[in-house]
Amino acid sequence: MNKLTDKDIKKVYWRNLFGLQWGWNYERMQGLGYSWVIMPALKRLYKDDKEQMKTALKTQLGFFNTSQPMSHLIIGADMGIEEKTGMSDPEAIVGLKTGLMGPFAGVGDTIFLAIYRAIVFSIASYMALSGSALGLLLPIIAGAAILWVRYKFTWIGYQQGTKLATEFAGRMKILTEGASILGLTVVGALIPSVINYSLDLKYQMGKVTLNIDDMLNQILPSLVPLAIVMFSYWLLGKKKMNSTRLIFVLIALGMVLGNLKRIFGM
Amino acid sequence: MNKLTDKDIKKVYWRNLFGLQWGWNYERMQGLGYSWVIMPALKRLYKDDKEQMKTALKTQLGFFNTSQPMSHLIIGADMGIEEKTGMSDPEAIVGLKTGLMGPFAGVGDTIFLAIYRAIVFSIASYMALSGSALGLLLPIIAGAAILWVRYKFTWIGYQQGTKLATEFAGRMKILTEGASILGLTVVGALIPSVINYSLDLKYQMGKVTLNIDDMLNQILPSLVPLAIVMFSYWLLGKKKMNSTRLIFVLIALGMVLGNLKRIFGM
Amino acid sequence: MNKLTDKDIKKVYWRNLFGLQWGWNYERMQGLGYSWVIMPALKRLYKDDKEQMKTALKTQLGFFNTSQPMSHLIIGADMGIEEKTGMSDPEAIVGLKTGLMGPFAGVGDTIFLAIYRAIVFSIASYMALSGSALGLLLPIIAGAAILWVRYKFTWIGYQQGTKLATEFAGRMKILTEGASILGLTVVGALIPSVINYSLDLKYQMGKVTLNIDDMLNQILPSLVPLAIVMFSYWLLGKKKMNSTRLIFVLIALGMVLGNLKRIFGM
Amino acid sequence: MTVSFGIIIVLCVYVALAVLDQISLQLGPYSPLFGGAITGLVMGDLKTGLMVGATLQLMTLGVATFGGATVPDFLTGSVMGTAYAILANKGASYGIGLAVPIGLLLTQTDILARMANTFFQHRADRFAEEGNYRKVELQNIWGTIPWILSRILPVAIGLFFGQSVVSAINSFIPAWFMDGLKTAGLILPAMGIAILMRYLPIKKYFPFFIIGFVMMAYGGKNFSILGSALVGLAMAAIYVIFKNKPTSPVTTSGTDSSENDDSDDDEVEIDE
Amino acid sequence: MTVSFGIIIVLCVYVALAVLDQISLQLGPYSPLFGGAITGLVMGDLKTGLMVGATLQLMTLGVATFGGATVPDFLTGSVMGTAYAILANKGASYGIGLAVPIGLLLTQTDILARMANTFFQHRADRFAEEGNYRKVELQNIWGTIPWILSRILPVAIGLFFGQSVVSAINSFIPAWFMDGLKTAGLILPAMGIAILMRYLPIKKYFPFFIIGFVMMAYGGKNFSILGSALVGLAMAAIYVIFKNKPTSPVTTSGTDSSENDDSDDDEVEIDE
Amino acid sequence: MTVSFGIIIVLCVYVALAVLDQISLQLGPYSPLFGGAITGLVMGDLKTGLMVGATLQLMTLGVATFGGATVPDFLTGSVMGTAYAILANKGASYGIGLAVPIGLLLTQTDILARMANTFFQHRADRFAEEGNYRKVELQNIWGTIPWILSRILPVAIGLFFGQSVVSAINSFIPAWFMDGLKTAGLILPAMGIAILMRYLPIKKYFPFFIIGFVMMAYGGKNFSILGSALVGLAMAAIYVIFKNKPTSPVTTSGTDSSENDDSDDDEVEIDE
Ligand SMILES: OC[C@H]1O[C@H](O)[C@@H](O)[C@@H](O)[C@@H]1O
Ligand SMILES: OC[C@H]1O[C@H](O)[C@@H](O)[C@@H](O)[C@@H]1O
Ligand SMILES: OC[C@H]1O[C@H](O)[C@@H](O)[C@@H](O)[C@@H]1O
C-alpha cells in the first residue's frame, strides 16, 4: 500500500485549519468537513482501489463533532492508522473518532473557546476602550500561536496513532480537571471585571445620605454583579430555560433597573 | 409504641432554639436544658408508661454539653432512636449523646462561635463605625439563616438516627480540619484589621526625622500588632495564665505604651 | 577511650563558624578547613594514640564541600560517631561526610544563600535607598539568629549521630522540595521588584501619543523585565554560556536599550 | 444629668432579653455592638452608642464562651460605658475606656448565675425520680431567673448611681490613666485573637494563618475579613476535596451544552 | 446621511470573511470587537467603532457555540449597531443598545445556515456510494455558501435601509426604553458568565471560582483577567502535579552550578 | 581630590574583614550594600554610598557562589564604585555604572586565591602523614592570606590611582557609554534571577514562580519580597504537610478551653 508523504500531512493540516466546519449541519455536524479535510490522505491511500475508497468515503462522512484545535490530533491519528491497516476495519476508525471526539470537545472547548477567548479578547477590548486599535493585534498574534499548536497536534496524532487513544485517555481526565480549575478561576474573575453595573441608589434619611452601593461594597465588592450572575446561573438550571431566553430575562431586568428612578419618582 | 408526629419534631426544634441553656450549670451544663428540649418527644413516647418515663427523665438529665447549632443533630438522632427502641437500652442513648457531643462541640464552636461571629460582627461593626446603624441588620439576617440550618439539622438527625453517629464521625474529622483552615485564615486576617495600634514614635537624628512606624512597616506591615498577638499567644500557653489575667497584662502594657511620651519626657 | 566534653563541642562550633573555608581550594574545597574545625575533637580522642591520629588527619583532610550552616550537622554527627567508634572504620566516616554533603548543599544553599539573602538584603537595600542606614542592622540581627541555628545544628548532629544520615535523608527530599517552592515564589517576586527598567518609548501617531510602556502594562505589568529574565534564563541553558558571559550580553543589551533614542534619532 | 427611671427600666428589659439571646438564638442583641447602639438610641445619642459598641465589638471578636468558659461581660460593659460616656458628655473613647474594666468586674456575676442553676438541676433530679416530668420541665424555665438577674442587677445599680460614678471618675482618675486605657483598648483585640489561636490547631495549620495575615497586612484598606474568609473557605474546600477523593473520579463535564443541563436546578453548593 | 453602496459592499465582504473566520481559524475578524472596529474604520469613525465593539465583546465573553449550540449573532449586531450609531450620530451607547436586539433577532439565520447544509451532506452521501470523491469534496466547499449568505443578507438589507431604521427608532422608541437597554447592556455579561459556569464543573471546583472572584473583586483596578488566568494556571498545574505524582520522586536539584547545566536549553515548560 | 592614605588603609582593613565575613559568618560586611555604605561613611558621603551599595545589592541578589562557583567581586566593585563617584562628584549612578565592570574585572583574583590555597592543602597532607596535627591546623590559618590579599591589593591600587582613573574615565568614555551602562545596571538583576531559576527546579515547580511573579507584578508598591516569601513559606509548608501525612490523623482540637491548655508553652512552630 502507498505511504503518506509529508506533503499529504501538511495538506490535511491546511484543510483542517480552514474547512472542517464549512459543511457543518445538524445531522452529522463536522462529518462532511471531516471527509474533505482527510481527503488528501484518502486519495494517496485508496486512489487505485475503488472498493476501499468507497468504504473510506462512507466511513469518513459519518457523524463527527469536536473542538477544532483538538480535531487535528484525531485526524492525525486516523491517518496514522489507515496508513498501516487501510480500510480493513472501518469499525476501528469509527471507534477512534467517536471515542476521542467527546473528551476532546470537553477539554478543547474549555481551553480554546472559553478561557483563551476570555483572556485575549478582554485584554484587547480594554485596550480598545482606552482608544487604541493596536490591541486588535493581540488576538491575531495569539491566534497565530494556536495555529502552530494545531500544526504540532497534527504530527503528534499521526505519529502516535492508536497509542493516542489509549494513553491520552488517562491524561485527558486530569487535563480536563486542570482546564476546569483554570477556567473557573477566570470565570470568577470575570464577574467583577466585566459587569460594571451598580445600583446607583442614594437614600436621604434626615440629614444623612445613605449610599446603598457603598454599603453593599462594604459587605462585599461586586455583590450586585455576583447576585445577577448567580440568578442567571440558577435560571439556566431551570427546565425550559436556555441562553436565548435568559437574554430576554436580563433585558427585562435591565429595563426595570435602568428606570428605578423613574419608577420610584426620584 | 407511639410514633412521633411532625409536630413533635417541630416542637423540639423550637424548644432547642430557645431553652437548651436556660438551666446551664457547672454540674451538668446543658443537661437540664436537654431534658426540657426533648420533653415533647418523651411525652409522646412514654406518657403511658411510667417506668420508661422515669428512666428517660433520668437519662436525659445527665451531663451534656455541645455547640448549640450542632445539638440539633444529636437531639434529632436521639428522637429517631428512641422512637424505634424506646428506653430499652438507656446506655445506647447516653453513648450516642456523649460520643457525639465532643467532636460536635469542636467543629460547631469553630464555625458558629469563632468564625461566623468574627466575620458577621466585624462587617457590622465597620459599618457602624462609618455611622450607619443599618449594619445591625446583618447579624439578624445571617442569624436567621442559621436558624434555618438548625431546623434542617433537626430533621437530618431524626432521619439518620444511629447512622449519624457512625457516618458523621469520619466526616467530622475532615470537616473539623476544613473549619480549622478557614478559621486560621480569618484569625490571621484579624490581626492587621482589628489591631490599629502603632507606636507613633518619631526620633530626631540631626536633620533627619526617624519615623519608627514607617521603618517597621517597611519590614512588614502590622509588625507591632503581630508581635503583641504572638506575645499574648505565648502568655496563654504559660501555666497559671488565663484569658482574664491576660486582659490585665494587656491593660498594663497599654498603660505603658500609651504613656511612652510621658515616660521619655518627649 | 576519652569522651568529648561540652567545651570540645562548643570549640568545634566556634571554629566551624569562622574557619571552615579559610583554606578553601579547588582540589579539596572545604577539606582543609574541615580538619581544622574538627581538630579539638580529634585532639581529645586521639592525642595519646599516634596511629589513630594519623588516620584521622588523613581522613579529615579529604574532599568536602557543603553549605556552611548545614555543615554543623555533619561535623556534629562525625564527632558523635568518632566518640563511639574512634577511627576503627574510616570508610564509615568518609561515607557519612560525602553522603550527606551533597543533599545538604542543595537545601542549605537554597535556603541560606538564595532565599535568605534575597529577603534580608532586599529589605535592607530598600531601606537604604530611602536614605536610612539603619536597615543595615537587619542582616546583622537576622544573621545572629542564623548563628544560633548553627549552634543548635551542631548539637543535633552530635546527639543523633548516624541516625541523622538515615533519618534525615528521607526528610531532606521533602525539605528540599519545600525550599524550592519557597525559593521559586521569591524568585518570581524578585522580577517585578528589582528590575525597574521600562522601555520609555513614546510614539506620535497623528494626534495620539502611543505610550508603549502603558500598552505593555495593560497586557501584563513587568512584561519587559519578565522577557529579559526569560531570555537570560534561556541563554544560561546554552552550551558555552555561563553567568560571567551573560553579564557581557546584558551589558551589550543595556548599551542598545539605553541608546534607543540616539539610535532612532528621536 | 441623671438617668431617668424610664430609661433604666428599658435598658434592664433589654439586657434581660440580651442574655437570653446569648444563651439561645445569638441573633445579635447579646453583642456589645447592639449593647452600645441600643443604649445610645434610648439615651438620645445613637452615634456615640454606635462608636462605643462597634469598637468594643472589634476588641472582643475572638472572645467566646467555648465549652462554658466564663468571659468578661462586655455586653453590660458596653451598655454602661455608653451610658457613662453620654452622661459625662466626653465622647466615645471615654466610654470605651470604661467598658473594659466594667466588663472585667462583672465576670463574677456570670459565674454566680451558672452556679446558682445547679440548684434547679438537683430539684429536677428529684422530680425525675418521681417521674414527674411536668415539674422537671419547670426547673429549666426557672433557670432563666439567675441568668436575667445576673445582668439586670449590675445595670440597674450602675445606672442609678451613674452620675456619682462619673463624677468620681472625673475627679479621681488621672489623665495618664485614661490615656493608658485608650491604648489598652487598641491592643486588647490581641487577647481574643490569641484565644482563637489557642483554640484552633495552629501548629498544624499555621500556613493558613500566615496567608490570612499576609493578605490583610498587605491588602490593607482594599481587603476585608469577609474576603479573607472567602479565601479561607476556598482553601478549606480544596483541602477537603483532596483528602476525600484520593483517586480522581471520571468527570463528565464537557460536550453537554447548558441548554440540556436541566437536571440540576440548585445553586452553587458543595457537590458530594 | 445614507450608507454608500461602496461601504455596503466592503462590509458585506468583511462579514463573509468574518463568518469563515468564525468556523475555522478564529483569529479575530469574527469577534464583535473587530466587527465594531472595522465598521467604524470604513465609515470614518474608528473611535465609535472601537467603543461599540469592545463593549459588546466584553458583554459576550462567555458566549460561545459549545457543541454546535446556536448563539445570537453579536458580530452582525456589532457591525450594524456601529453603523446605526454613526448614522444617527448619537454616540457609542446608542449603538450598543441596538446591537443586542439585532444580534438576538439574527439567531435564526445562523440556524437556517446550519440546517441548509444538511442538503450538501446528503448529496455527499450519494457521491460516496459511487466512490466519486471529487464530487464529495465539492459538497463541503458548497457548504460555505449558506454560511456566507446568512451574514451578508441581513447586513446588506440592514445597511441599505439604515437611514429609515434609524429615523424609525428615533421617533418611536421612548427614552426609558433606551435607558433600559443601556442598563441591560451593563448586566448582560452575566449571561455569558452563567453559561460558562454551567459548562464548567463548578460544583466540584467551586473553590477556584471563589478565588478568582475574590482576587478581582478586591484587586480591582490593579488586577486583570490575565493575572487571574496566571493564578488559575498555577493552581491547575499544582493540582495536576499533585494528582500525577502521588509519591515524591527524588529531586536532583542541588549542587550543580548553572554553568554545568548545559544539558537542557529549553524555555520554562512543564517537566514530564 | 585624592584619597588619603588613612582612608586607603581603613578601606583595606574593611575589605579584608569583609572577605572573611563572606567565607564564614556572612553577617553583612561582605555585601555590596555594606561596601557602599562603609566607603561612603569613611569618605564623608554616606548617602552616595548607600545609593551605590543598595542599588548594586539589588542588582546582584541572586548571585551567589553555589558549589564554589566564582562570581564577580561586586563587593570590591561597590567599594571602588562608591569611591570614584565621590571623587568625581558625579552622583550615585556614575558609581553604579563603574562598579559592575570593576566587579567583572576582579573575578580573576578570586580564582587566584582559591587556586593558591591548594598549596596549603598539600602541606597539610604532608604534616598529616607525620601525625603533626599542630602543623596541619596551621595550614588552614595560612589560607586566609590569599583570600585577604585578593581583596586588599585591587582596592589599594585602585584607590591610590583613583584620581587618575577618574580623570581617564571622564575624558575618554563617551556619554552614550555611560547611558548604556546605566541601562545595563537596570537590567542586570535579570542575571541573578536567571541563575536562581537555573539553580532551583523551576520546571517541576513553575506554578510557584508564576504565583510569586503575579503577586508582585500586580501588588506593586503594596507588596514586598518578605510578603512573597511568607506566602511561599505557607505554600511550601502546605506542600510538606500534604506529602508527609497522606492519611489524616485524628485531630484533638476542640472542647479544651485555652485555660487548660498549659501543657505547651512554645511559640508557633511546625508541629511534627
Ligand atoms: O463548647 C460547647 C459549648 O459549651 C457551653 O455550653 C457554651 O460555652 C457554649 O457556648 C458552647 O458552644
Ligand atoms: O463542542 C465541540 C464543537 O461543536 C461544534 O462543532 C461547534 O460549536 C464548535 O465550536 C465546538 O468546538
Ligand atoms: O554549594 C556548597 C558550598 O560550596 C562552596 O563551598 C561555596 O560556594 C559555598 O558558599 C557553598 O555553600
Q: Identify all chain A residues contacting B126, using CB atoms and an 8 Å cutoff.
A: 218
Atom of ligand 1 nearest to the CA of B21: 6
- Please list the alpha-helical segments (H only) found in B86-222: 90-108, 116-129, 137-160, 162-163, 169-194, 212-219
Percentage of residues in chain A with pLDDT exceeding 70?
95
Of B192, B213, B237, the position where a domain reaches its end is B192
Q: What pLDDT digit, counting tens, does each position of C33-61 carry?
A: 999 999 999 999 998 888 999 999 999 99
Whether A110 lines ligand 2, by a CB cut-off of 6 Å, is: no
Are residue C215 and residue C180 in the same domain, yes or no? no
Average pLDDT over every residue of F55-62: 88
Rounded to a whole number, what is the distance in Å from the CA of B207 to chain D's nearest CA? 30
Q: What pLDDT digit, counting tens, does each position of F154-207 carry?
A: 999 999 988 888 788 778 888 888 888 888 888 988 988 998 899 889 999 999
Note whether residue B14 is domain-resident.
Answer: yes
Q: Which chain D residue has the Cα nearest residue A101?
A: D255
* SS3 category, C202: strand
D204 phi-psi bin (left φ>0, alpha ψ -120 to 50, beta other): alpha
Whether A65 lines ligand 2, by a CB cut-off of 6 Å, is: yes
* B/E Cβ contact: 3+ pairs below 8 Å: no
Who among D254, D266, D268 is closest to A105 (CB)?
A: D254
Question: Are C218 and A134 inside 8 Å of each other by CB?
Answer: no
Choose the mutation target among B191, B208, B236 for the interface with F, i.e. most F CBs under 10 Å: B236
Average pLDDT over every residue of F85-112: 88
Whether residue E269 has pLDDT greater than 50: no
pLDDT band at residue E206 under the 50/70/90 scheme: very high
Residue with cell 411536668: D134
Note whether residue B1 is domain-resident.
Answer: no
Are residue A165 and residue A234 in the same domain, yes or no? no
pLDDT band at residue C176 under the 50/70/90 scheme: confident
Whether residue F246 has pLDDT greater than 60: no
Q: Are D34 and D28 in contact, with CB atoms under 8 Å apart?
A: yes
Choose the mutation target among B207, B218, B223 for the interface with C, i.e. most C CBs under 10 Å: B218
> Kindly report the CA angle at B67 between B61 and B73, in degrees rounded to 5?
75
* A226, amino acid identity: L
Instruction: Please give the tally of structural domains in chain A.
Output: 2
Q: Identify all chain B residues contacting C131, using CB atoms and an 8 Å cutoff.
A: 208
Neighbours of E (≥3 Cβ pairs closer than 8 A)? Answer: A, C, D, F
First vs last Cα of chain B: how many Å apart?
A: 82
For residue F18, the surrounding DSSP H or E stretch is helix F5-22
Whether C110 lines ligand 3, by a CB cut-off of 6 Å, is: no
Whether residue D269 has pLDDT greater than 90: no
Who wins on pLDDT, D2 or C135? Answer: C135
Q: Whose CA is nearest to atom 7 of ligand 2?
A: E68
Neighbours of D (≥3 Cβ pairs closer than 8 A)? Answer: A, B, E, F
- Model pLDDT, residue E170: 79
Rounded to a whole number, what is the distance in Å from the CA of B170 to chain A's nearest CA? 26
Who among D128, D202, D218 is closest to B221 (CB)?
A: D218
Whether residue E252 has pLDDT greater than 50: no
Q: Are C54 and C77 in contact, with CB atoms under 8 Å apart?
A: no
Helices (H) and strands (E) in chain B, counts: 13, 2
Q: Which chain B residue has the Cα nearest residue A215?
A: B127
* D178, amino acid identity: M
Whether F26 lines ligand 3, by a CB cut-off of 6 Å, is: no
Pocket test for ligand 1, best of D26, D63, D66 (most atoms within 8 A of CB): D66
Pocket test for ligand 1, best of B34, B64, B66 (most atoms within 8 A of CB): B66
Whether A114 lines ligand 2, by a CB cut-off of 6 Å, is: no
Who among E227, E241, E251 is closest to F218 (CB)?
A: E227
Are residue C45 and residue C107 in the same domain, yes or no? yes
Whether C65 lines ligand 3, by a CB cut-off of 6 Å, is: yes
Of D29-38, E238-247, E254-263, F43-52, where does mean pLDDT reach its minimum? E254-263
* B/C Cβ contact: 3+ pairs below 8 Å: yes
What residues in chain E have their Cβ under 8 A from chain C's Cβ atoms? 224, 226-227, 248, 250-251, 253-255, 258-259, 261-262, 264-268
Measure the CA–CA gap between A119 and C220, rounded to whole angstroms.
12
Write the burial class of residue A206 (CB in 10 Å: 0-12 exposed, 13-18 middle, 19+ buried). Answer: exposed
Measure the CA–CA gap between A64 and A29, rounded to whole angstroms.
6
Query: What is the 3-state composition of chain B as percent helix, strand, coil, each rounded to the nearest 5?
Result: 75, 5, 20
C-alpha cell of C253?
543589551
Whether A30 lines ligand 2, by a CB cut-off of 6 Å, is: yes
DSSP state of B114: I
Q: Whose CA is nearest to atom 5 of ligand 2?
A: E68
pLDDT band at residue E166 under the 50/70/90 scheme: confident
Whether residue F261 has pLDDT greater than 60: no
Are residue C219 and residue C142 in the same domain, yes or no? no
Whether C109 lines ligand 3, by a CB cut-off of 6 Å, is: yes
Q: What pLDDT digit, counting tens, does each position of E66-88 carry?
A: 877 778 899 999 999 999 999 98
Who among E226, E259, E267 is closest to C242 (CB)?
A: E259
Measure the CA–CA gap between E59 and E62, rounded to whole angstroms.
8
Choose the mutation target among E222, E224, E235, E253 for the interface with C, i.e. most C CBs under 10 Å: E253
Measure the CA–CA gap between C221 and C208, rounded to whole angstroms.
22
Question: Are F258 and B242 inside 8 Å of each other by CB?
Answer: yes
Sign of the Cα torsion D17, D23, D24, D28 reads positive
Atom of ligand 3 nearest to the CA of C66: 2
Whether residue F255 has pLDDT greater than 80: no
Are residue A166 and residue A206 in the same domain, yes or no? no
C-alpha cell of D207?
500556613
Of C164, C192, C220, the position where a domain reaches its end is C192
CA of residue B91 relative to chain centroid, distance: 28
Q: Are E64 and E106 in contact, with CB atoms under 8 Å apart?
A: no
- Model pLDDT, residue A35: 96
Atom of ligand 1 nearest to the CA of D69: 8
Of B256-265, D64-73, D258-267, E216-225, where does mean pLDDT reach its minimum? D258-267
Pocket test for ligand 2, best of E30, E65, E71 (most atoms within 8 A of CB): E65
Report which listed range, D169-173, F46-50, F70-74, is most confident. F46-50
Ligand 3 centre distance from Cα of residue C29 (Å): 9
Whether residue E267 has pLDDT greater than 60: no
Are residue C142 and residue C224 in the same domain, yes or no? no
Neighbours of C (≥3 Cβ pairs closer than 8 A)? Answer: A, B, E, F
Of C192, C209, C239, the position where a domain reaches its end is C192
C-alpha dihedral (B213, B217, B220, B224), degrees to nearest 10: 30
Atom of ligand 2 nearest to the CA of A65: 6
Who wins on pLDDT, B243 or D134? Answer: D134
Are residue A21 and residue A110 in the same domain, yes or no? yes
- Model pLDDT, residue B265: 67
Q: Which ligand is nearest to the CA of D257?
A: 2
Q: Which chain A residue has the Cα nearest residue D230?
A: A220
Whether D174 lines ligand 1, by a CB cut-off of 6 Å, is: no
- Model pLDDT, residue A147: 96
Measure the CA–CA gap between B21 and B23, rounded to whole angstroms.
5
Distances (CA, A) of D4 to D9, D12, F3, F202: 9, 12, 84, 73
Neighbours of B (≥3 Cβ pairs closer than 8 A)? Answer: A, C, D, F
Are residue C20 and residue C87 in the same domain, yes or no? yes
Ligand 1 centre distance from Cα of residue B106 (Å): 10
Q: Are E176 and A256 in contact, with CB atoms under 8 Å apart?
A: no
- Model pLDDT, residue B266: 61
Note whether residue A214 is domain-resident.
Answer: yes
pLDDT band at residue E245 under the 50/70/90 scheme: low
Are residue B51 and residue B172 in the same domain, yes or no? yes
Q: Note the maximum CA span of chain B.
A: 92
Average pLDDT in chain B:
89
Ligand 1 centre distance from Cα of residue A249 (Å): 48
Ligand 1 centre distance from Cα of residue D10 (Å): 29
Percentage of residues in chain D with pLDDT exceeding 70?
89
Measure the CA–CA gap between E236 and E215, rounded to whole angstroms.
16
- Which structural domain range is residue C165 located in? 6-192
Average pLDDT over every residue of D231-250: 73
Average pLDDT over every residue of D112-119: 93
Ligand 2 centre distance from Cα of residue A154 (Å): 18
Whether B110 lines ligand 1, by a CB cut-off of 6 Å, is: no
Who wins on pLDDT, E248 or A142? Answer: A142
Whether residue D86 has pLDDT greater than 50: yes
- Model pLDDT, residue E163: 81
Average pLDDT in chain A:
89
Q: What pLDDT digit, counting tens, does each position of A212-249 carry?
A: 888 888 889 999 999 999 999 999 999 888 888 898 99
Q: What pLDDT digit, counting tens, does each position of B86-104 carry?
A: 888 899 999 999 988 988 8
Interaxial angle between packed helices F225-244 and F202-219, expressed in degrees from 0 to 180 and rounded to the nearest 10 = 140
- Model pLDDT, residue C251: 92
Measure the CA–CA gap between E225 and A113, rounded to whole angstroms.
16
Note whether residue A166 is domain-resident.
Answer: yes
Who wins on pLDDT, E258 or B201? Answer: B201
Q: Whose CA is nearest to atom 3 of ligand 2?
A: E67
Q: Which ligand is nearest to the CA of C65?
A: 3
Measure the CA–CA gap between A227 and A218, rounded to whole angstroms.
15
Q: What pLDDT digit, counting tens, does each position of C87-128 carry?
A: 888 999 999 999 889 888 888 888 888 889 988 998 899 889
Exposed e or buried b for every residue in A126-154, given b needs 16+ CB within 10 A?
A: bbbbeebbebbebbeebbeebeeebbebb
pLDDT band at residue B9 under the 50/70/90 scheme: very high
Q: Are A172 and A107 in contact, with CB atoms under 8 Å apart?
A: yes
Are residue C151 and residue C225 in the same domain, yes or no? no
Measure the CA–CA gap between D203 and D201, rounded to whole angstroms.
6
Are residue B52 and residue B181 in the same domain, yes or no? yes
Q: Identify all chain B residues contacting A218, using CB atoms and an 8 Å cutoff.
A: 123, 126-127, 130, 135
pLDDT band at residue A151 under the 50/70/90 scheme: very high
Residues in CB range of C229: below 8 A, 6 or more apart: C191, C195, F190, F193, F194, F197
Are residue A72 and residue A32 in the same domain, yes or no? yes
Q: What pLDDT digit, counting tens, does each position of A28-76 carry?
A: 999 999 999 999 999 999 988 889 999 999 999 999 999 999 999 999 9
Whether F68 lines ligand 3, by a CB cut-off of 6 Å, is: yes
Whether residue A111 has pLDDT greater than 50: yes
Measure the CA–CA gap between A146 and D27, rounded to whole angstroms.
56
- Model pLDDT, residue D1: 61
Q: Are E268 and E234 in contact, with CB atoms under 8 Å apart?
A: no
Who wins on pLDDT, D145 or E251? Answer: D145
